[in-house]
Amino acid sequence: MNNSTMGSRPTRLAIFLLFWAVMFLGGCFGEDEQAAQQAPKPTPATVVKVVSKDAPVATEFVGKTASSRRVEVRSRIEGFLQSREYEEGTLVQEGQVMFQMDRKPFEAQLQAAKAELGQQLARQTTADADLARAVPLAKKDAIAERELDYAMGNSRSAAAAVESAQAKVVQAELNLGYTTIHAPVTGLSSFAKQQEGAYIGFGSNSLLTYVARIDPIWVEFSISENLLLHSQKSQKEGLYVPPADQQYEVEIILADGTQYPEVGRITFADASLSEETGTFLLRAELPNPLRKDSGIRQLRPGQFVRVNLKGGVRPNAILVPQRAVQQGAKGSFVWVIDAQNKAEFRPISVGDWQGDEWFITAGLKDGETVVVDGALKLRAGVEVEIVEPDAKEDEAAAQTAKAQ
């Protein structure tokens, strides 16, 4: 046998074994790398830890502002309107002159009443003198008793006539005073319903304008019967605690979304529910001072506002952000992170909204961790990587929830 041939066999065998060793090791490393690539990465999500605490409750209603005292300005006498002394639509002060009626006819009536009073006073003087002379004569039986009775009757009749004349003078003075019409309250004036030269009578024709007091101002709103019964039931079950002596605070949001700076209190609750609407009327009173920047009062009667009724408390409440709550075929649910940082599907029962959060009535307990953002990518048992929320996104989500 050729020596070269025999020497090459071990070499070929070694090469063959080395080749298969490389292939085997390469296959193992490839499988490990592939397995590493196929292993699922933790799903990023932002979370919030559930905390059970006493939470203030604010309930929102739609309300309307109204004047705290709207007074019609009417004429108490018949006559011609001489002048309008105020500027329509401006703020008038209590006692300020608003209209002037023609005084001349009433001045004449007053003079006539005073003249009649003088005449009756003269008659009374004569009658009293006659009675004074008749009394001593009657005691001496110098005159008949009938003449004494006649003198006493004349004196009393004259006194009654004087009182009647005095009443006519008072009435004439009142009528003359009524010719000058003053503002009954401090408030905003309306337009004049009668113009100079018009004849003012009684009834509907006597209405000249009205004045509306706007400081303080009223806000009226209604509570539905269902909400009223729900509140009573929650109080009975200990799920809601009203403020002491029912002293709720009232905040209002204007049409442009700004919050009115003053806070009011409820001053009136209707005695019964409306048969037409099935609602319960409440009225709150708020200060409406002059603003330093504009010199005007911010609220006017007739504005529609959002009313936040504050002061109640929900004890041991659990709140989660609204965007953490998902809706499924069987109702509401959230994703809870367990001790191994894995997602757990959790059905829940929700209550009312509170700002950008939701009251949870069942399904969660104190100390649990709930996914807020990133829930759409989760499945039961998936490992979760907890990340810090983006401040801008969090603020935008809060604003969206608030707008809704």
CATH number at 373 reads 2.40.420.20
Q: Among residues 226, 221, 371, 227, which one has the least CA distance to residue 306? A: 221
Do 232 and 268 reside in the same domain of the chain?
A: yes
Whether residue 119 is predicted with pLDDT greater than 80 in this model: the reply is yes
In the structure, what pLDDT confidence band is assigned to residue 22 with cuts at 50, 70 and 90?
Answer: low
- Residue 351, domain member (yes or no): yes
In the structure, what pLDDT confidence band is assigned to residue 205 with cuts at 50, 70 and 90?
Answer: confident
Token pair of 270 as six digits: 């209707």
Q: Which domain holds residue 236?
A: 58-66+215-313
Q: Among residues 147, 125, 126, 121, which one has the least CA distance to residue 135? A: 147
Do 281 and 226 reside in the same domain of the chain?
A: yes
Torsion of the alpha carbons at 342, 348, 350 and 355, rounded to the nearest 10? 0
Do 299 and 337 reside in the same domain of the chain?
A: no
Picking from 160, 178, 196, the residue at the C-terminal end of a domain is 178
What gap in Å lies between CA 130 and CA 150, rounded to an integer?
A: 10
Do 171 and 113 reside in the same domain of the chain?
A: yes
What gap in Å lies between CA 375 and CA 135, rounded to an integer?
A: 114
Do 335 and 274 reside in the same domain of the chain?
A: no
- Residue 71, domain member (yes or no): no
What gap in Å lies between CA 304 and CA 345, rounded to an integer?
A: 43
- Residue 21, domain member (yes or no): no
Percent share of the chain, pLDDT over 90: 46
- Residue 10, domain member (yes or no): no
pLDDT computed for residue 333 by the predictor: 92
CATH of the domain at 141: 1.10.287
Do 171 and 129 reside in the same domain of the chain?
A: yes
Buried b (16+ CB within 10 A) or exposed e, 116-140: bbeebeebbeebeebbeebeeebee
- Residue 14, domain member (yes or no): no
| Global confidence as pTM | 0.69
- Residue 109, domain member (yes or no): yes
The stretch 250-258 carries a mean pLDDT of 94
Do 342 and 308 reside in the same domain of the chain?
A: no
DSSP 260: P
Range from 41-45, 87-91, 281-285 carrying the lowest mean pLDDT:
41-45
CATH of the domain at 226: 2.40.30.170
Do 306 and 346 reside in the same domain of the chain?
A: no
Picking from 313, 344, 378, the residue at the C-terminal end of a domain is 313
What gap in Å lies between CA 48 and CA 7, rounded to an integer?
A: 75
Do 111 and 163 reside in the same domain of the chain?
A: yes
Do 273 and 324 reside in the same domain of the chain?
A: no
In the structure, what pLDDT confidence band is assigned to residue 1 with cuts at 50, 70 and 90?
Answer: very low
Do 292 and 249 reside in the same domain of the chain?
A: yes
In the structure, what pLDDT confidence band is assigned to residue 20 with cuts at 50, 70 and 90?
Answer: low
- Residue 50, domain member (yes or no): no
Picking from 281, 313, 345, the residue at the C-terminal end of a domain is 313
| Helix H or strand E encompassing 394 | helix 391-403
Whether residue 394 is predicted with pLDDT greater than 80 in this model: the reply is no
- Residue 36, domain member (yes or no): no
Please, what is the average pLDDT of the chain? 85
Report the domain count for the chain: 3
Do 273 and 335 reside in the same domain of the chain?
A: no
